[in-house]
Amino acid sequence: MGQIRKTRMDDDPQTILANAKAAVERGDKDGARIMLDDLIFRNADNEQAWLLLAEVVTDSNEIEDCLRQVHRINPSNPSEKVAALILADRKAADREKEKIKQRQQAKEARDKHRKEQAAEKKKAKASKK
């Protein structure tokens, strides 16, 4: 991969971000990650750094964490990534509601089936007498 250049405290944040973007473009995600981690360490409210970091990390939990930070910094960010995160959260909540509904329906069906079986047993006993 490309050469990783250690950032200095006096490096301009825009320069570091530009270097990180260039690293991503040449396929050096590890180098970009180092620069972005350093940049975010200096300023946790750097929205662009968090957005680029979301492109660099591969773990879905890390991606979500990055996008949550973007949303924290700028809730009105028009980025499709932030919108996708919000949408994913809503879909997860909808899936959870659907699971709860399905569990309730299954319980009701089991209860109904048990009542029907009990009624049939009672009827069968009565007909034997």
Same domain, 53 and 101: no
Q: What's the confidence (pLDDT) of residue 3?
A: 46
Q: Which domain holds residue 96?
A: 78-129
User: What's the predicted TM-score (pTM) here?
Assistant: 0.58
Same domain, 97 and 58: no
Q: Which residue has the higher pLDDT, 80 or 116?
A: 116
Same domain, 102 and 58: no
- pLDDT tens per residue across span 32-54: 999 999 999 999 999 999 999 98
Who contacts 4 (Cβ-Cβ below 8 Å, separation ≥6)?
28, 30, 31, 34
Same domain, 67 and 83: no
Same domain, 109 and 60: no
76, 83, 85, 86 from 89: Cα distances, Å: 16, 10, 6, 5
- Nearest by Cα to 44 from 78, 68, 11, 20: 68
Same domain, 19 and 52: yes
Q: What's the confidence (pLDDT) of residue 92?
A: 80
46-50, 61-65, 116-120: which has the highest mean pLDDT? Answer: 46-50
Rg (CA), the chain: 27
Number of structural domains the chain divides into = 2
